[in-house]
Amino acid sequence: MRLFGLILAYGLAMTAGVTASGQLRIIPREKVESVADPRLSEESSFMRFDTRHIVAEPMNEADSPKCFVYRFENTGSESLKGIRIVTTCSCMTATVSAKEILPGQKGEIQLMYNPKGHPGRFERKVFVYTEAHEDPAAVLRLSVEVNNGADMSLDWPIQMGTIRLRNDVVEFRSGVRAVERLCFINLGAKDLKLECETSFLPQSLTFRCDPEIVQPGQEGQIVIKYDPSAEGAERNAVVILKGLGVPPSRSSVKVVINDAKQ
């Protein structure tokens, strides 16, 4: 049994090292550990922060984005140059007061956190780099607790997996070229690229999403174009959405072609 466990562990480790291109990539142990507890550069001791960990007051998904400020001072004898910020979540954007901080000079990092679409309790990380080292000079932390937003069933009554829509039916008049749009909101925790099953789409209809990538908590539009000169233009259809994690019966938009005489 012990041998079987070792073989299983080895197999899982090998699987984790396979890239999207199908090539095998061995990830060094120190690289894996650096994600959770990264090694800091020599300049870490020169960046003296008032605090590196901010615990935010509880927020609600419906709240506006909030700004958190990390103030620091360069206590070293050389300038901190090329300062750049990397965050661990698309819900955060960060800016630094200056790309270069002279010895004895103070600076600040402003972190804007958007709670929409991110309910739950998290610890987010912010990595501060300088041009002198590949390792971060500082790792900042933000602990947040975001409560679920208000009931969206009135404004967005239709649930399809990770999105909610105001309507799931579009109508066209037979023989009349037109474009219809359905608004939706992405309630998932990841960016959404909404697509449809093209094999079930008649030639008279074309589908796209505007914008192509919809970030968590943001709104998008399903855009359906009707061409009455194409084959199959007289029949009703169903547009099956992909990537929502639910069956086609629960992720379909109905397209109704009405008689032009009506």
Q: What is the per-residue pLDDT across 143-171, written as a single tens digit (0 to 9) for each?
A: 998 887 666 667 789 989 889 999 999 99
Antiparallel, parallel or unpaired: β 92-96 and 106-113 = antiparallel
Q: What is the per-residue pLDDT across 63-76, written as a single tens digit (0 to 9) for each?
A: 889 999 999 999 99
| Banded model confidence at residue 28, pLDDT cuts 50, 70, 90 | very low
Give mean pLDDT, residues 203-212. Answer: 94
Whole-number pLDDT of residue 62: 77
Structural domains of the chain ordered from first start = 39-147 (2.60.40.10), 158-258 (2.60.40.10)
Residue bearing tokens 């069933």 = 153
pLDDT at 35 over 90: no
How many C-beta atoms lie closer than 10 Å to residue 229's C-beta? 9
Contact 30, 36 (CB under 8 A): no
Which residues are registered as beta bridge partners of 71? 108
